[in-house]
Structure 1
Amino acid sequence: MLLKYYFHLIYSFLLGLTSLSSLVMGLFFIFCSKSLVIEFDILSINGISMMFTLYFDWMSLIFMSFVSFISCSVVYYSGSYMSGDFNINRFLGLVMLFVASMMFMIFSLNMVSILLGWDGLGVVSYVLVVYYQNEKSNAAGMITALSNRIGDVAIILSIGLMMDLGSWSFMSGLNSDSYLTAYIMCFLLVAGMTKSAQMPFSAWLPAAMAAPTPVSALVHSSTLVTAGVYLLIRFSPILMSTGLNLFLFVVGGLTTLMASISANFETDMKKVVALSTLSQLGMMMITLAVGFYLLSFFHLVMHAVFKALLFLCSGKLIHESNGSQDFRDSGGMIVGLSFTGFCLNLSNFALCGFPFLAGFYSKDLLAESILMEDLGIIAFLLLGFSTGLSSCYSFRLSYFSMMKFSSMGVMTSVKEEDEIMWVSKIMLSIGAVMFGAWFIWWMFPVPVLVVLCPSLKLMTIMTVLMGVVVGVFISLFPSMGYIYEKKTLVLFCTQMWFLSYVSGQVISSMFMDISKLLKWLDGGWSEMFGGQGLYKSLSYSSNLNLSIQYNSVKLYLISFLMIFIVFILLS
């Protein structure tokens, strides 16, 4: 009986062991330049073999190590955060199933097994989003599931096209210069865009915040939304050869700009963090489109660590604010939650690219590498604007939740007593401080050198500082926030450029109108000349036939008289 209270410890231990073993194997594969392919012969009929293939290289193993490390912290954190839930063991089981689906996708080499892990992520994410079983969670779960189903259909179509290439393996099947490769890559690009919530499929990402906070920390850091980026990283050489990277660059740029602007108008704590995730996913897509897939992967794993820490800190603030997610209802928590405030500011600094934190090594290198490319002034301004806005909303989040005068009740008290939450945040804080320096030495064979003119070299730092200054003015001086009084502009930004309306209400209302038209046709002429008309005519004929066959003397006499009259008339 006591075992059911310690499932979070057992799961955390298994995930920590998996993370450590994957890290050791990944470093071994990096230093030895090795990779491993394991094939299992499932079925062989008439010379056709069905193989289940696993592919182990340094990238998959390092990513698996980060997924397991963050999942270990989140599951351990859930032991305290979800302790009041009667179904906590079912919740932990769903989280472990979610992690298992991600593992399945990471190590798969062929498209069929990738689809199994991909669909597993979609199904379990729907179950976790609707975990609280209310109307809001149901709506969020439906838009999450239906948006991801578009990517599932795209992968199924790519599997059908790969049949013509003779293999489902993306190593052997897509190395040819066949015209089918471009079509397959188009479908895979759509799949990656839907899973990573790129425009115009971005509406489901903030809606998925209806899930419990530990699920949000896992989904928005290292599992569901990163699956699309990881898939496109695997297909990066083919993406560059087909020329679709230009389209991906535009989509990633629009996504990061939209998410950065929307985050500065949002007041929901979890949605601000979710939109910051969307902004960073757009940056990863831009880097991938330029051709720096290793930098995109490096920023992917670094971002996962400090973003999970940011979600766990937000969950503690929500916990102490009596479940309110609006950061205007909190404030002043730096006194009672000093360690949580330290971790929150640490993760925000890493997100902004503060020197020598994990985000600095990936984000600064990413931005400077993009500046080396000949992309034009619009791309440079877009990059700088998005980077500055990330600093702006990070300061707003820290100020309103921690440093502003408290908006809570007079007798309200907050406390930092939970040792389980302490351990999880300490683990991720160490990663946010040290992982950037460690992994930049391990992942890149030679030190990365970026040579730029002084103006471009200082551009990243200056945009970050300007974003902080704008955030200070908007937060500290209410007169500077007059722009927030414009309801139409606020609605435009908080609704993600009306993507939520386009993804939900517009499509549903369009199909409702079509269904009403079909219903009118069903109840009108189509019924008269269709099923109902045929049914009525057959019923009338059968009743008439039955009435004729009655043994009635009157009926017989009338029939004889009518026949006799007709005979007389005809003769």
Structure 2
Amino acid sequence: MMIYYLYSMIYMILSFKMFMLSLIFMYKNLNLFIEWNFIIINSLNMNMFILLDFMSMMFLSIVFMITSMIMIYSKEYMFYDKMNNYFIYIMNLFVLSMMIMIISPNLISILFGWDMLGLTSYCLVIFYQNNQSFNSGMLTFLSNRLGDIFLIMSISLMSMMSSWNLFFFKFDNFMFILTLILTSITKSAQFPFSPWLPAAMAAPTPISSLVHSSTLVTAGIYLLIRFNYSISQHMLTKYLLLISLITMFLSSLSANYEYDLKKIIALSTLSQLGLMMSIYSLNLQNLSFFHLLTHATFKALLFMCSGVMIHNMMNFQDIRFMGNLINMFPMTIMMFNIATLSLCGIPFMSGFYSKDLIIEYSLMMNLSFFTMMIFYLSISLTMMYSIRLIYYLILNNYLFTPYMIMNENKTMNMPMILLMFMSTILGSMINWMMFMSINFTYLNFYYKTLIFLCMIMSIIMSLFFMKMKLMMKNFIMNFFFTKMWFIPNIQKFNNYMFFMLSKSIYLYIEKSWNEFMGFNYFKSLLLNNFMNKIFINKFLIIIYFSLYFLMMIMILLI
């Protein structure tokens, strides 16, 4: 099991180096392009570019830091699993593919990292071999394949520029920007491609912590932030704002009706992704990147704390049967509450610095009443499901079983403590580094108190609903929102139609004309009983096939 500590040490050293390099690149305003010419054949000249700047270095630092903590955490979590080595190798491939995508300004290398992300995420989602894992993995895989199709379409459209290095061009083609946006919203699970993200909870909790904090689901938003100079001023960002607001609102509302602990945190991730995408569509890319970094730390901590609870409760995840956990897991519940408060944007926590800036900048923009209403309602619902989660875990009177001996593990607590400090200080630290200037945001009294009013009202409403149990009695609302707004049923119908179409093509094309005019026809024509007696010798059979293929090649050349 020392291999976990070895990988953790390697990732921590890489994280520290990347963080120091990001500071150097930021304050010296440096951008480093590394060109690797790996194929030269006559006029074919294929290059691969690596882009190193403060943004890629900072993001890599956060990814490596969280991966380092998850490696130590997994040492105890996966201790009794027979596939430890498989888990480590796939996890390292997953981080490697994310690293390739982060440092690549070239669409081909981005596609390589993108496909590796999809393949390794599928292997990790189906890690536990059961029907639910296979269904969730297939839903995740097929949804992300749509993003791959759109990315390949954007590569083909980029060919008219005689280069795939998107960083060197300002591309205003409508179809190209549309395919790039569709690529990002499929990977970041925006509406209507949202159902795969809660379904991916079938993976082990350390993988959920890594996927939902800084790797798979943030890849689409990072792609848009990286190429914002081509996309940010386009008219399609208005529709992107609408899609992200719908995602943020519906996922926050669904989290208030969900009882699965990991699914609530997954819907919380979906809500925060909608917030990042909405603030990006308002041409505030730096703020979107800022919230992306702060969100990574406290979301990883939330999943780790939930993993400790699930691990000690015999893999039980229903919050209705949890309660008084502060007596059994005092350290874990303390860190869980800190991460939840950071998610809510409580002042001077890590999430406060990014969320407060986002709300203040949105108030200074000329947005419609409908947009602001959905925006503030979604933020209030975030506070509501966070308070609801704390209520069920701490104030609820249910006990899972009084006869089990539940204790906390020091190996699992050690990385969680570091992430707790990062969830507290990272926001202020990045705020000082990236946004500290002589320009300040001044709002009048009503606008400034509106933020705190929404927070206080959401806390009161959440406690009122919990006390009156209104969320449990409304069966129709429960059925609608826990079914992810019936999108999986619609997608199931669409997938059924595509599968039936592929079956028809196979039966009426592959098995009809191709079968009649292809190799099987000649085999049945020539290999009759008389020919079978002649071609018993294997050598003669090889000669026969060689002559057959040579004849087919000659026909094609003629």
Q: Provide the TM-score with structure 2 as the length reference.
A: 0.89
Match of residue 58, structure 1, among 34, 38, 54: 54
- Could you say which structure has the larger radius of gyration? 1
| Higher deviation after alignment, 14-23 or 160-169 | 160-169
Say yes or no: does 1:501 pair with 2:489: yes
Say yes or no: does 1:510 pair with 2:521: no
What is the deviation of 1:319?
A: 1.1
The residue that corresponds to 2:460 in the other structure is 469
SS in structure 2 of the partner of residue 132 of structure 1: coil
What is the deviation of 1:518?
A: 7.5
What is the deviation of 1:406?
A: 3.2
Say yes or no: does 1:383 pair with 2:365: no
What is the deviation of 1:511?
A: 4.0
CA distance in 1, matches of 2:337, 2:201: 21
Say yes or no: does 1:487 pair with 2:487: no
What is the deviation of 1:48?
A: 3.3
CA distance in 1, matches of 2:502, 2:288: 45
Aligned positions, number? 522
1:328/1:407 contact within 8 Å kept: no
Say yes or no: does 1:265 pair with 2:257: yes
CA distance in 2, matches of 1:76, 1:66: 16
What is the deviation of 1:65?
A: 0.4
Cα distance per residue 1:264-318 (max 9 Å; x no partner): 0000000000000000000000100000000000000000000000000000111
Match of residue 170, structure 2, among 165, 172, 175: 175
CA distance in 2, matches of 1:520, 1:27: 60
CA distance in 2, matches of 1:144, 1:341: 31
CA distance in 2, matches of 1:264, 1:447: 41
CA distance in 2, matches of 1:425, 1:489: 35
1:195/1:228 contact within 8 Å kept: yes
Say yes or no: does 1:446 pair with 2:437: yes
Cα distance per residue 1:382-426 (max 9 Å; x no partner): 11100000011111111112231132123123212x111111111
CA distance in 2, matches of 1:7, 1:387: 42
Cα distance per residue 1:63-119 (max 9 Å; x no partner): 000001111111110001111111112101111111111011000111101111111
1:101/1:120 contact within 8 Å kept: yes
Match of residue 72, structure 2, among 61, 69, 76: 76
CA distance in 2, matches of 1:323, 1:116: 35
SS in structure 2 of the partner of residue 347 of structure 1: helix
What is the deviation of 1:476?
A: 2.7
| Higher deviation after alignment, 372-381 or 273-282 | 372-381
Cα distance per residue 1:294-349 (max 9 Å; x no partner): 00000000000000000000001111221111111221110111010100100000
Which residue identity does 2:298 align to in structure 1? F
Match of residue 267, structure 2, among 260, 275, 278: 275
Say yes or no: does 1:460 pair with 2:448: no
What is the deviation of 1:489?
A: 2.1
Which residue identity does 1:130 align to in structure 2? I
Q: Provide the TM-score with structure 1 as the length reference.
A: 0.87
1:333/1:406 contact within 8 Å kept: no
What is the deviation of 1:519?
A: 9.3
The residue that corresponds to 1:100 in the other structure is 96
| Higher deviation after alignment, 8-17 or 465-474 | 465-474
CA distance in 1, matches of 2:438, 2:207: 36
CA distance in 2, matches of 1:277, 1:462: 24
What is the deviation of 1:448?
A: 5.5
Q: Identify if the C-alpha distance between structure 1 residues 403 and 159 changes in structure 2 by more than 3 Å, giving closer, same or farther.
A: same
Q: Identify if the C-alpha distance between structure 1 residues 22 and 243 changes in structure 2 by more than 3 Å, giving closer, same or farther.
A: same
Q: Identify if the C-alpha distance between structure 1 residues 392 and 129 changes in structure 2 by more than 3 Å, giving closer, same or farther.
A: same
1:384/1:459 contact within 8 Å kept: no
| Higher deviation after alignment, 488-497 or 152-161 | 488-497
What is the deviation of 1:352?
A: 0.3
SS in structure 2 of the partner of residue 455 of structure 1: helix
SS in structure 1 of the partner of residue 34 of structure 2: strand
- 1:390-401 equivalences under 5 Å are 390-401=382-393
Which residue identity does 1:263 align to in structure 2? A
Structure 1 unpaired stretches of 5+: 543-571
1:192/1:228 contact within 8 Å kept: yes
The residue that corresponds to 1:560 in the other structure is none
Which residue identity does 2:323 align to in structure 1? G
What is the deviation of 1:475?
A: 1.9
Q: Identify if the C-alpha distance between structure 1 residues 191 and 368 changes in structure 2 by more than 3 Å, giving closer, same or farther.
A: same
1:387/1:460 contact within 8 Å kept: no
